[in-house]
Amino acid sequence: MAISRRFPARLTVSLALALATSLTLAACGGHGDEKDKKDGASRQTVSATTATSVALPRTVVASGTVSAWEEVPVGAETGGLTATTLYVDEGSYVRQGQPLVQMNDVLLRAQVRQQQAAVQTAEANVARDDAALARAQELKTRGFLSQASLDTALANQRASAAGLASAQAALAETQTRLSQATIRAPVSGLIISRSVTKGQIISAGTELFRMVRDGRLELDAQVPETELPLIQAGQSAAVTSSQAGSTTGTVRIVTPEVDPQTRLGLARISLAPGSALKPGMFARAAIEAGARPATVVPTDAVLYRSNKSGVFVLNADSSVRFVPVTVLSRRDDQTSVEGLNAGVRVVVAGAGFLNEGDKVTVAAPRAAAAITCGRACTVSRSQPAFASTAVAFSTVAPMSCSFQSRNTWAPDAFSSRASPMPSEANSCSPTL
């Protein structure tokens, strides 16, 4: 063949590939079909809409660690006694004043009886000396007793009264120690740890149990500083954990400080009682922050460039510029964003084929309804292909293209513009 004699096989293959790609691009419409006769620049025909501001429910997602609302350590106030009976174990819910541990109190009970007898003796001495003082005062009044004798009687009465007070104080001390031999729950709550065993000699101040007051648990949720102003006490939250399922909660307090390293604040969420969550577990909370004004654009208008989400905004001169935005929430048809003012016009259909500064033609309302992010096309079988000794192309197969918005883009090999990457809903395949 004439072509094979003049051109090397490699060059022939390259020309064939170039022609096939050109046919595909021409049919799929990589760029606009209209030409601006004045400046000679190609214009993409697009559809546009106006970004609106609406009140949307905001949900702030935060995660953290489950902790006790208030942990209460329980220890022994008196020491040197042996634990004889354990009434509760870990996981038990106890009431305030309920016995937890009984220690050996035989010696203390004996001391109580001894001191009760001492109190009785002191009371008898007081009664005797009171009577003696009364007689001495009567005799002194009649002149039959000296002042010295009266003073002695008064001193004896005061000494016996002091002896009674001392005996009563010693008895009260021993009785208190006896009551402390039975360790009771200081508050109502859940026993989460136990560190005492039967037969153990307990020292004063040793922690024996640790309780969660009222069984109340909290989630210490870490919230980004940008969303921290949205969180307020009293807001409801849905709390989930992969280990313990889900429960509900209420924001109790939002701490007034932010970690300078992580830029995270802390929201303490009180969890509903009866959940399977345990202190130390990891959980995630979806906090209902109420309705907040947000800028809403069509979901198809949002795309990604350099791993940044954004939209193309129309300028007054029909050019476009890429404006980065933060996606707050996404639905099938509408997406709420941050970083875009309401009232500006954004490109919807055709945004994926644009670059910064491109000039576009905005379709009329009726025409815009027919524009989609993808186009269907068919390349005729009548287009011949080149052949060579290395590779033979008989025909170019018809192409059926359907591009849907995917927010995933890759540079086109034949232009500086971005082209959509093929995917399940964004493909261009031959039709045989």
Last residue of a domain, one of 130, 155, 180: 180
- Tally of domains within the chain: 4
Give DSSP secondary structure letters for 21-74: HHHHHHHHTSS-SEE-TTT--EEEEE-EEE-EEEEEEEEEEEEEEEEESSEEEE
Q: Return the SS3 of 140.
A: helix
Beta-carbon contacts of 424 under 8 Å, excluding residues fewer than 6 positions away, are none
Residue 388 near residue 15, CB atoms below 8 Å: no
The DSSP H or E segment spanning 120 is helix 106-142
> Do residues 273 and 318 both lie within one domain?
no
236, β-bridge pairs: 250
Most confident of 12-21, 62-71, 81-90, 420-429: 81-90
Reference 373, options 296, 297, 301, 422; nearest CA is 301
Bridge-based pairing state of the strands 320-324 and 345-347 = unpaired
Q: What is the mean pLDDT of the chain?
A: 76
Residues 267, 353 within the same domain: no
Instruction: Output the CA angle 244-250-256, nearest 5 degrees.
Output: 115
Strands 189-194 and 93-94, by their bridges, are antiparallel
Q: Domain ends where: 255, 285, 315?
A: 285
Q: Are residues 196 and 84 in the same domain?
A: yes
User: Do residues 360 and 418 both lie within one domain?
Assistant: yes
Residues 127 and 261 placed together within one structural domain of the fold? no
132-143 mean pLDDT: 88
State pLDDT tens for residues 311-345.
888 888 888 888 888 887 777 788 888 788 788 88
Average pLDDT over residues 266-289: 88
Residue 246 contacts residue 114 (beta carbons within 8 Å) = no
Report angle CA 240, 245, 250 to the nearest 5 degrees: 45
Judge whether 310 lies within some domain: yes
Q: Are strands 93-94 and 399-403 parallel, antiparallel or unpaired?
A: unpaired
Same domain, 271 and 364: no
Clarify whether residues 392 and 407 are in a common domain.
yes
- pLDDT category at 158 given cuts 50, 70, 90 is very high
Beta carbons of 209 and 263 less than 8 angstroms apart:
no
Per-residue pLDDT for 414 more than 60? Answer: no
Judgement on whether residues 93 and 118 belong to the same structural domain of the protein: no
Residue closest to 279 by CA, chosen among 348, 216, 208: 216
Q: How many CB atoms lie within 10 A of CB 278?
A: 15
Kindly state whether residues 79 and 209 are assigned to the same domain.
Answer: yes
CATH for 10:
2.40.420.20
> Is the model's pLDDT at 422 over the cut of 50?
no
Quote the pLDDT of residue 365: 59
Both 166 and 188 in one domain: the answer is no
Of residues 119 and 349, more confidently modeled: 119
- The answer to whether residue 290 sits within a structural domain is no
Q: Global pTM? A: 0.48
Could you read off the pLDDT of 370-387 as tens digits, one per residue?
A: 444 443 333 333 333 333
Asked whether the predicted pLDDT for residue 234 surpasses 60, the reply is yes
Beta pairing class for 34-35 and 334-338: unpaired
Asked if residue 43 and residue 115 are part of one domain, the reply reads no
Which tops the pLDDT comparison, 356 or 39?
A: 356
Say yes or no: 263 and 374 in one domain.
no
| Residue 78 structural domain | 70-100+184-215
